[in-house]
Chain A
Amino acid sequence: MNEPLYAAIWRGKTNGSFSTYEVPRHESQTVLDVVTYVQRHLDPTLAYRFACRVGMCGSCAMSVNGTPRWTCRTHVAKVVRGNTVRIAPLAHLPIIRDLVTDMREFFDKWTRAKGDFVGTRTRRDDFARVAPNSPERTAADAGVECIGCGVCYAACDVVGWRADFLGPAALNRAWTLVNDARDVGGRIRLRAVAGDAGCHACHTQGSCTQWCPKQLAPTAAIAGLKRATAKAAVRGEL
């Protein structure tokens, strides 16, 4: 623990470079602790983003040694190589400065995937009754805990290859709504997530599922969307 830690941190915009800082090692130190130490003690101009520090808000995701991770819940001991940790902004998103990315495109794609709930009930209606063990409720449960951190989006090769690809998070969101018994936006949503910008561009490489910090499986959600669009296409409803 007395060995120093060297944090190579991305500085600047797209054409920036890594700067290395010497940071004291601590037990149970997280990558976010390292970045915070640098900003508070070594270079106050370092820009980064965080809020809750407990893995709920999804704002502190960064690329750590080339892998997208939620930095507040990533222990240095788990990812350090020798005594160096390399911290960069998330891939596939424009860099605003240092470790801060512009996430507009990521969230705009949720809108494009029709990720908003479309209901018919009003406040005067009774609650919808959804059987907790129904297959639809189970499928929605599997994807509903997404915190929107962008780790899956940065991990996905197809996002890097196709600028218009909606990405794992937006498609996962669409799949939870496809399985929401109260939602009536089904047909429009399936059309929005079909094709080469949607679920059919996925090569099932599974990087999103491998790195999702919440252990969700967007790969399975995308496979579900492929099945749902196939059924709709056969019925002529796509």
Chain B
Amino acid sequence: MINVVTQAKLWYWQRLSAMVLALCVVSHLAMIVYASRGGLTAAEILARTRGNAPFAAFYSVFVAACAIHVPIGLKSIAVEWLRWRERSASIAAAIIALALLVMGFRAVYAIFV
């Protein structure tokens, strides 16, 4: 059982990460719409992202915010809607957080290097 102070902190982390995600998602979508107006190939994308540090930094923040926000929300859904026990839901959420971090940073690494 997570103690109440940690539960409260997780709530604030989720709220803060939601604010970051709001900016990230809007920027991400705007970038896709803008960049793909005339069609875009994988090679063209990589040509722009390789060695582009601001690009990698932006998506690193995006990945971190996802890895914080998503598992906390899924844990609540598992407890409230699927009736999972607190402990199982917390373990599942931790695994999902780790998976999002690994897959996300792997993707950032792949387009940067």
Contact status B12-A161, CB under 8 Å: no
Interface size, chain B (Cβ < 8 Å)? 14
Interface of A is mostly: helix
Contact status B79-A162, CB under 8 Å: yes
A196 and B8 CA atoms in complex are apart in Å by: 8
Contact status A196-B7, CB under 8 Å: yes
A142 touches B (CB below 8 Å): no
B43 touches A (CB below 8 Å): no
0 or 1 for each of B61-92: is its CB under 8 Å from A? (1 = yes): 00000000000000010011100001000000
B9 touches A (CB below 8 Å): yes
Contact status A194-B80, CB under 8 Å: no
Contact status A194-B79, CB under 8 Å: no
0 or 1 for each of B1-29: is its CB under 8 Å from A? (1 = yes): 01111011101100000000000000000
Interface size, chain A (Cβ < 8 Å)? 16
A13 touches B (CB below 8 Å): no
Contact status A200-B11, CB under 8 Å: yes
Interface residues of A in 185-231 (CB under 8 A from B): 191, 194-198, 200-201, 226, 229-230
Shortest CB distance A171–B (Å):
14
Interface residues of A in 139-182 (CB under 8 A from B): 158, 161-162
Across-interface contacts of B80 in A (CB, < 8 A): 158, 161-162
Contact status B81-A161, CB under 8 Å: yes
A161 and B78 CA atoms in complex are apart in Å by: 11
Shortest CB distance A204–B (Å):
11
A238 and B9 CA atoms in complex are apart in Å by: 10
Closest 7 pairs (CB-CB, A-B): A195-B4, A195-B7, A161-B80, A200-B11, A194-B8, A196-B7, A194-B4
11 A-B pairs within 8 Å (CB atoms) are namely A161-B80, A162-B80, A194-B8, A195-B3, A196-B4, A196-B7, A196-B79, A198-B4, A230-B8, A233-B5, A238-B8
